Amino acid sequence: MKTTIRTKAGSERIDTEESLNKNGFVYKSLQAYFNEFINSPNNHEERDMYFGSFEEMNGGSYLNASGAIEMMEEALMEYIEENNLRSITTRVYNNLDFEGLIQA
């Protein structure tokens, strides 16, 4: 399904059957959402889970930042399809809540 999404940075037409353009407005807004969430002073535990180095993980972290953004993208596509949306305004887009997907 083709849908137009208006973000604060600009408008982009996406297809829910394809991955987002990593240079597009929508993908970059999902990255910004994740970065804002993870860098919030209240989310130090989540930041550690994504970027920490744990002995039991052979020096790796428990969670994957790019995987979190992919989950947000999948949730967005699912929301569009479930609601049969041809267009999403900036106001609606800014009110979508992805926090539950990226919390540790």
pLDDT per position as a tens digit, 44-56:
888 999 988 888 8
The 3-state secondary structure of the chain reads: CEEEEECCCCEEEEECCCCCCCCCHHHHHHHHHHHHHHCCHHHHHHHHHHHCCEHHHCCECCCCHHHHHHHHHHHHHHHHHHCCCCEECHHHHHCCCCHHHHCC
At 100, the pLDDT band (50, 70, 90 cuts) reads confident
Whether pLDDT at 66 is above 70: yes
* Residue that has been written with the tokens 């267009």 in this structure: 87
pLDDT per position as a tens digit, 78-98:
999 999 999 999 999 999 999
Q: Taking the domains of the chain in order of start, what are their residue ranges?
A: 2-102
pLDDT per position as a tens digit, 9-39:
999 999 999 999 999 999 999 999 999 999 9
